[in-house]
Homo-oligomer: A and B are copies of this chain.
Amino acid sequence: MEQAILEAAERLFLERGFALTSTTDIAREVGCNQSLLNYYFRSKERLFQMIFEDKVRVLLSSLKEPMDSNIPFLDKVRVLCEGHFDIVSRNPRVPLFLLHEIHTNLQRLESFKEIINGILGDISPLFEKELNREMQKGTIRETTFFDILMTMVSLNIGVFLFHPILEDVLVQHQIHVENMLRARRKENARILLVSLLP
C-alpha cells in the first residue's frame, strides 16, 4: 500500500501539480482510504516532498557519468547533452513540474539546491578544468560551465515543455513524434557544439 500510494501520488502530482491534486484523489486512485496517506506520510506536504526530491535526483542523475570517461572534451559535451536529453525524454513531465513547484513555493528551492549542489559540486571543477584547457588551446571560444549548462538544458527541455502545443503541428505535418524527438536530440547536441566553436 505504501508503495502504491507513492506511485499514484507521483502520477497525479506530475500531471496536475501539488495544488490541483487532493489527497482524496490519490486515495481514490490507489483504492484505499484517504486517511491512510496521513498514516504513512504524515501530511500531503511530506508525501509531496518525497516525490519532488526523487524527481530532482532523477533529472540530475544524467550529468554525472560522462565526466568520468576518457574521451575528448567536445565528445564529452555531446555525450552529456544526449544523455541529458534521454533522461528528460524518459521523464517528460518532470521539468515543468519542478519549475512550477519551485516558482509557486520558493521553500522548495532549498531542498532543490541541496541536491543540485551535491551533484554539481562533483562535476563542476572537473568540467571547468577541461574547459579552461580547451579555451587556452583556442579550440573553443570563451565561455563558462554555467552558460553551456543553460544552453543545453534550455534546448533539451524545450520540446517537452511545448509537447501539448506541438502535437497539433506534428499531426498537421504528418510527422511522427518519435522521429521528431530523435532528430531534436541530435540537433540539440549539434547546436551546443557549434555554439562552442571559436
Interface string of A151-177 (1 = CB under 8 A from B): 101110111011011001100010000
B168 contacts A158, CB within 8 Å?
no
User: Is A69 an interface residue when CB atoms closer than 8 A count as contact?
Assistant: no
**8 A Cβ contacts from A177-195 to B:** 184, 187, 190-191, 194-195
A96 contacts B106, CB within 8 Å?
no
User: Is A41 an interface residue when CB atoms closer than 8 A count as contact?
Assistant: no
Closest approach, in angstroms, between the C-beta of A101 and any C-beta of chain B?
10
- Determine the residue in chain B with the shortest Cβ distance to A195: B191
B195 contacts A169, CB within 8 Å?
no
B contact residues around A116 at 8 Å (CB): 165
B157 contacts A113, CB within 8 Å?
no
A20 contacts B158, CB within 8 Å?
no
**In the bound complex, what is the Cα–Cα distance between A25 and B187 (angstroms)?**
45
List 21 contacting pairs A-B, 8 Å CB cutoff, sorted by A: A17-B17, A17-B104, A20-B104, A96-B96, A102-B164, A102-B165, A103-B164, A106-B164, A109-B164, A112-B165, A113-B165, A113-B168, A147-B187, A150-B158, A150-B184, A151-B158, A153-B158, A154-B157, A154-B161, A155-B155, A190-B195
Q: Other CB < 8 Å A-B pairs besides A100-B100, A113-B168, 9 of them?
A: A17-B100, A96-B100, A96-B103, A103-B164, A150-B162, A151-B158, A154-B157, A154-B159, A194-B194
**A-B complex: 7 closest residue pairs judged by Cβ atoms:** A154-B158, A19-B19, A191-B195, A100-B100, A19-B20, A154-B154, A194-B194
